[in-house]
């Protein structure tokens, strides 16, 4: 069998950002509207700093306003909630993202609850999660990584109805929303997790396999059905030769590519799509808040 098609998330993200940039130009020209994304970082988590920097940079690159707020590690929940309320009421702010994880004195649920659902560009608020799971995804803000996964699947499969999809992992950020999106496309969806029996056997049934468990190279080649579409959400840093480290996914790529029909690499697969989808959500949020038709992006 031929080697799997590589689903190039980096290239697809470039295309998506170009479409977003064009849409932002049109909003500016036709409506004098510049979408704005407020990104809130609490503390000095190095990984979060990198994410936040990339989000702000890409936001500016597509012509949107980027409003960064950096709070100290020892900020209390009340102070953070006060900032969120201020951003909810600021007409320059179309989208709000509070970078997770938060320091332990802050309850992330309380912070997510405080974000205006119309500005919740992460799609984590219960209103957006509820809209997605009741089949009203068209009116929700959909979480970014799951949207990116669906776009990558769409690069290989044009019709998902009736296909068997397996989602490994049940987080609110990836597993649950991606399962809802697959269900909305009429897949028969199974969700597996750490207590699932015969995980390999369950995976082998799947025409579409989405791995979002955070365990390096857990999914082996012989877990994959021949010709399956494999989406690897994992970003795991592992030791490499010469005392270096490297990023690997949740799927053993070298084995999996011999069996799968299409597969996302790590890095360069799902990762770049997440920020592009965040920018897209910010444009969507800005249009809805201003009662402007949402462009097809
Ligand atoms: N931390 C890691 N990924 C994410 C994300 O998608 N959104 C937020 N807010 N924090 C994160």
- CATH code of residue 211: 3.40.50.720
184 and 105, same domain (yes or no): no
Ligand 1 atom nearest the C-alpha of 274 is: 6
Given the CA of residue 48, which atom of ligand 1 is nearest to it?
Answer: 1
Q: Which of 118, 152, 187 is the last residue of a domain?
A: 118
pLDDT band at 137 (very low <50, low <70, confident <90, very high): confident
Is 88 in the same domain as 151?
A: no
Same-domain check for residues 155 and 188: yes
Residue 131 lies in a domain: no
| Rounded mean pLDDT, 18-30 | 98
Per-residue pLDDT tens digits for 88-130: 999 999 999 999 999 999 999 999 999 999 999 999 999 999 9
What helix, strand, coil percent values describe the chain, rounded to 5? 45, 15, 40
The CA 101 to ligand 1 mean position distance, Å, reads 8
Q: Is position 88 within any domain?
A: yes
* Same domain membership, residue 160 and residue 100: no
- Is 120 marked active-site? no
Please say if 32 is a catalytic residue: no
Residue 99 is among the residues annotated as catalytic for this protein: yes
Whether 214 and 262 share a structural domain: yes
Q: What is the pLDDT of residue 98?
A: 98
Residue with tokens 């207590």: 195
- Please give all residues whose beta carbon lies within 6 A of any atom in ligand 1, as ranges: 97-100, 122, 144
Cα of 253 vs centre of ligand 1, distance in Å, is 24
Q: Domain check: are 166 and 260 in the same one?
A: yes
Given a cut of 90, whether residue 1 has pLDDT beyond it is no
Position 86 in a domain? yes
Environment class of residue 292 by beta-carbon count within 10 Å: exposed (0-12), middle (13-18) or buried (19+)?
middle
pTM above 0.85, yes or no: yes
pLDDT tens-place string over residues 39-87: 999 999 999 999 999 999 999 999 999 999 999 999 999 999 999 999 9
* Arithmetic mean of pLDDT, 240-263: 97
Our mutation pick for probing the ligand 1 site, out of 173, 236, 282, counting the most ligand atoms within 8 A of Cβ, is 173
Give the residue, by CA position, lying nearest to ligand 1 atom 11. Answer: 100
Q: Is residue 164 part of a domain?
A: yes
CB atoms within 10 A of CB 89: 9
Residues 59 and 151 in one domain: no
158 and 249 both lie in a single domain: yes
Dist. CA 285–CA 29, nearest whole Å = 18
Tell whether 154 and 266 lie within a shared domain. yes
Q: Looking at residue 150, what is its pLDDT?
A: 98
**Distance of CA 259 from the midpoint of ligand 1 (Å):** 31
Ligand 1 atom, smallest distance to 97 CA: 9
When divided into structural domains, the chain yields a total of: 2
Q: Is the same domain home to 149 and 264?
A: yes
162 CA distance to ligand 1 centroid (A)? 31
The reply to whether 161 and 108 lie within a common domain is no
Question: Which residue range(s) make up the domain with 147?
Answer: 143-271
- Regarding whether 262 and 159 lie in a shared domain, the answer is yes
Taken as a whole, the chain contains a residue count of 297
Looking at the domain assignment, is residue 25 inside a domain? no
Q: What Å distances lie between residue 122 and 6, 81, 118, 218, 279, CA to CA?
A: 27, 17, 11, 27, 10
Torsion-angle region of 214 (φ positive above 0: left; ψ -120 to 50: alpha; else: beta): left
Q: Is the pLDDT of residue 186 over 90?
A: yes
For residue 143, the ligand 1 atom closest to its alpha carbon is 6
């Amino acid at each position: 069998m031929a080697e799997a098609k590589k689903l190039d998330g980096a290239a697809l993200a470039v295309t998506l950002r170009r479409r977003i940039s064009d849409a932002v130009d049109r909003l500016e020209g036709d409506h004098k509207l510049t979408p704005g994304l407020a990104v809130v970082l609490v503390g000095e988590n190095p990984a979060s700093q990198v994410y936040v920097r990339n989000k702000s940079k890409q936001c500016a690159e597509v012509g949107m306003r980027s409003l960064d707020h950096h709070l100290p590690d020892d900020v209390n929940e009340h102070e953070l909630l006060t900032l969120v309320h201020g951003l909810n009421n600021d007409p320059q702010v179309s989208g709000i993202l509070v970078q997770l994880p938060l320091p332990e004195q802050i309850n992330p649920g309380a912070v997510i609850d405080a974000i205006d659902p119309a500005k919740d560009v992460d799609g984590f608020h219960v209103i957006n999660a509820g809209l997605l799971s009741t089949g009203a995804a068209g009116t929700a803000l959909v979480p970014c990584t799951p949207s990116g996964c669906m776009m990558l699947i769409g690069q290989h499969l044009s019709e998902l109805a009736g296909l068997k999809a397996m989602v490994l992992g049940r987080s609110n950020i990836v597993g649950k929303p991606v399962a809802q999106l697959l269900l909305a496309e009429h897949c028969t969806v199974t969700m597996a997790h750490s207590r699932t029996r015969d995980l390999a056997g369950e995976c082998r049934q799947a025409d579409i396999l989405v791995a979002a468990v955070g365990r390096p190279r857990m999914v082996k080649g012989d877990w994959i059905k021949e010709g399956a579409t494999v989406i690897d959400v994992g970003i795991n840093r592992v030791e490499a030769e010469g005392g270096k480290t490297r990023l690997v996914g949740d799927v053993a790529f070298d084995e999996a590519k011999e069996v799968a029909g299409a597969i996302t690499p790590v890095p360069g697969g799902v990762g770049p799509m997440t920020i592009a989808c965040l920018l897209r959500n910010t444009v969507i949020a800005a249009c809805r808040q201003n009662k402007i038709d949402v462009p097809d992006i």
